[in-house]
Amino acid sequence: MVCSLLGCVDCAAAQSAPQTGAEAFILMDAGSGRVLTGKNTERELAIASTTKIMTALVALETGNLSDKVTVKQNHLKEGSSMYLRAGEVLTLEELLYGLLLPSGNDAAECIADHCSGVERFVARMNEKAAALGMTHTSFANPSGLDAQGHYSCALDMARLAAYAMREPTFARIAATRTAAVGERMLGNHNKLLASLEGCTGLKTGYTDNAGRTLVTCCERDGMRLIAVTLNDRSDWADHAALYEYGFAAFARKRAVARGEEYTLAPVRGGTQTSVSLAAGESFFYPVTAGEELLVSARLPEELTAPLAAGQAVGELIVSMDGEELARVPLVCAEPVAAAEKTQSLFERLFGRTG
């Protein structure tokens, strides 16, 4: 049984999306995955040190922050560096700061070698990419140095960034502007942390082949957006313009509220004849002018007692312009006990037979 429950929501005024100088770019809502604007979003390109977003995630999944790691000579790679010295010992957490703030290629190699060996670590990076649905991505090293078979696309990197920012330790480090590691004072290469309202990360990159690459995250009024530009000489200005557009043109609307009662369902064999059904979780979605979110309920024709509070018995379907956006479980807002069976006169007089 399906019934419509919700009509139109108020939306922000529409405005034109900005153009960028990037070969490929995307602006995405982190919560829902909705693409707000973009160009060449699935074009496979070199991504330089934005690779280190995945390096940090795999390190957090395979190592412990307190691990003691010894630096080896072969960890000291070309390019950006946190200036490690062979023989010194740092914790994995300190290396992660060196990885994400000054974008240390030496930190990337040291982390990968410690966690599982570089070759196996890179395999884990690709396994994680596959698990996240990054179908246009392949990693060949943990640093992002130019290599055959090392590429991604704007859409995949936005999905990776949205996932990464839900990891508390990653989010904390990526938002850090400066950090002391021993005698070193590390500065974050992401200057938008200091100049853009609501910016909370994420990662810069550059190689001759990739050009300037940048993945950032910005949050205002509870809405978290991700911007990615690949091969973009004007990346700082372009990211700022993308966020100004995104936050002005779209509003984060709650289509479904957790715990809110939406409908009644009939109950058979219970101490009451119906039960209130409520949303098991909330669902938010970014909308712009003229867009309408619709919610419909799908539930059985009849429920049978006993029923427990919080028991899933149906679902709410959120859609827009005929496209399904999400399914949210409908749960019993209260318990319903089974009614005691009424005995016949014969059973009351002579008891059960058989």
Task: Give the pLDDT confidence of 275-308 residue by residue, as tens digits.
Answer: 999 999 999 999 999 999 999 999 888 899 999 9
CB within 8 A of 289, min separation 6: which ones?
11, 12, 13, 14, 249
Alpha carbons within 13 A on the beta-carbon side of 75: 26
User: Which of the pair, 11 or 274, is modelled with greater confidence?
Assistant: 274
Q: Spot the catalytic one: 49, 80, 143, 152.
A: 49
Can you give the pLDDT at residue 321?
Answer: 94
Residue type (1 letter), 211: G
What is residue 250's predicted lDDT score, i.e. its pLDDT?
A: 97
Model confidence pLDDT, tens digit, residues 12-58 = 444 688 999 999 999 999 999 999 999 999 999 999 999 999 999 99
Clarify whether 52 is annotated catalytic: yes
354, pLDDT greater than 80: no
Q: What is the pLDDT of residue 335?
A: 95
User: Reduced to 3 states, what is the DSSP secondary structure of residue 70?
Assistant: strand
- Model confidence at 351, pLDDT cuts 50, 70, 90, reads low
Angle between helix 92-100 and helix 52-62 axes, rounded to 10 deg: 170
Predicted pLDDT of residue 10? 38
CA-wise closest residue to 157 among 23, 22, 37, 45: 45
| Residue 49 known to be catalytic | yes
Phi/psi for 320 (5° steps) reads -150, 130
According to the model, what pLDDT value does residue 5 have? Answer: 54
Summarize the confidence of residues 252-276 as an average pLDDT: 94
Query: Between residues 347 and 206, which one has the greater pLDDT?
Result: 206
The whole-angstrom separation of Cα 109 and Cα 55 is 10
Q: Which two tokens stand for residue 317?
A: 């379907």
Residue 45's closest CA among 193, 173, 150, 164? 150
According to the model, what pLDDT value does residue 155 have?
Answer: 98
Q: How far apart are CA 315 and CA 5, in angstroms?
A: 12
Interhelix angle 92-100/105-116, nearest 10 degrees: 140
| Annotated catalytic residue, options 77, 80, 103, 203 | 103
Best CA proximity match to 82, nearest among 101, 56, 58, 57: 101
Q: How confident is the model at residue 11 (pLDDT cuts 50, 70, 90)?
A: very low
Round to whole Å and give the CA distance between 52 and 183. Answer: 23
Condensed to tens digits (0 to 9), the pLDDT of residues 73-98 reads 999 988 999 999 999 999 999 999 99
How many residues would you count in the chain? 354
Give the separation between CA 103 and CA 107, rounded to whole angstroms. 8
Distances (CA, A) of 43 to 29, 68, 215: 20, 39, 16
> Quick one: pLDDT at residue 286?
97
Q: Is 116 a catalytic residue?
A: no
Residue 2 has pLDDT above 70, yes or no: no
Of 52, 77, 128, 203, catalytic:
52
